Amino acid sequence: MADLYETLGVDRDASFDEIKKAYRKLARNYHPDVNPDPKMADKFKEITAAYEVLSDPDKRQNYDIGGNGFGGGFSNAGFGFGDIMDAFFGGGQQRGPRPRTRPGQDALLRVEVNLKEATFGCDRDLTVDTAAICTKCGGSGCANNSRPRTCDICKGRGETQQVARSILGQVMTSRACASCQGFGSVISDPCTECAGDGRVRSRKTIPVKIPAGVETGNRIQLSGQGEVGPGGGTPGDLYIEIVELPHEFLIREDSNLHISIAVPMTSAVLGSEVIIETFDGPQKVEIKEGTQSGSVVVLKGLGVTKLRGSGRGDLLVHIEVNIPGKVSKEQSELLKKFAQLRNEGADKVQIHTNKDQGFFSKVRNAFR
């Protein structure tokens, strides 16, 4: 009979973890589902038999003092397909105790801003409900300055092991300890404020500076303002997502603003000046003589502040000539005389092609 340690390729003083690691490595290579060669099946039975002995402290001791290490019969322990997969392909890998202190989650908060706030930036005080460190226990989760004690069941390992048999031999699997939930320790005297979690729900106000030029979808990261982790762990980050509200009469396009105004026909023909309200106060718009419907007047630097770069965009004023729908008899006679003087009639009508239509016709339609 071959030496069991040599079969698994480990030293005689190898630890349980080293034996398990060696067995799992060999099992992946020689398992019948992986390698159908009949010779490999015999090899698999050999390494499984070796593992059956060396993974059991009592059988290993018996083997080391000269016994064969094999006991008779199968145990009554339950063994299923999931346990085989765990042992062979990683599920049974030792996890060790889980840390009680873990990093906190990031948080996301959506904030609405109007167009003027997006143009110039603003300051906000935001109230958020989040997980904060428990001030009563300082995040430890323990009351009365006590400390967690080592779990009596898993002895601090955070996991328990179960030996089971199948037609393939004996396999040892590891599971998170049910007594301590895998922490390896138990809080015997939990804090009455946080029930041992080390954190509590809290409401706080955070000042936020929203930069000029933001738009819907932009996010502002506030480091360390997210949720505190279990056990008083490092807090995550808070992300502020911008939602820009639509304006009553302005339309934004990147850093430019668009506005549509309707002027009387006479003002468009003779020329005039109109006053419009902007974010920078009242501004004069010059309507030149003979202005056509669809013309655009650009007011430089009156748009939105550029988020990346310097300066501001422009305010584009779209002119729509307001044609009267109904006129008096006197006005009608005057318009006819005006048409005769300009030699204008139905035979002078021009048909525009698609190339003649302005790009901002869609903008004007949106205002309508």
The CA–CA distances, whole Å, from 117 to 123, 207, 283, 366 equal 9, 16, 20, 23
Is 142 assigned a ligand-binding role in the annotation? no
Q: Which among 199, 214, 339, 205 has a CA at the least distance from the CA of 269?
A: 339
Is 122 assigned a ligand-binding role in the annotation? no
Is 191 assigned a ligand-binding role in the annotation? yes
C-alpha span between 128 and 222 (Å, rounded): 13
C-alpha span between 40 and 28 (Å, rounded): 11
Task: Say if CB 124 and CB 111 are below 8 A apart.
Answer: yes
C-alpha span between 358 and 366 (Å, rounded): 14
Dihedral angle, C-alpha 208, 212, 216, 220, nearest 10 °: -40
Going through the chain in order, the beta strands assigned E by DSSP cover 107-113, 122-133, 149-150, 159-166, 169-176, 185-186, 199-210, 219-222, 238-244, 251-253, 256-264, 272-278, 281-287, 296-299, 315-322
C-alpha span between 270 and 262 (Å, rounded): 15
C-alpha span between 241 and 55 (Å, rounded): 55
State the DSSP code for 133. Answer: E
Q: Which tokens sit at 166?
A: 């199948």
Distance linking the first and last C-alpha atoms of the chain: 95
322-350: b (≥16 Cβ within 10 Å) or e: eeeeeeeeeeeeeeeeeeeeeeeeeeeee
The CA–CA distances, whole Å, from 316 to 132, 211, 281, 296, 301 equal 49, 23, 15, 6, 10
Binding site listing: 134, 137, 151, 154, 177, 180, 191, 194
Binding site listing for Zn(2+): 134, 137, 151, 154, 177, 180, 191, 194
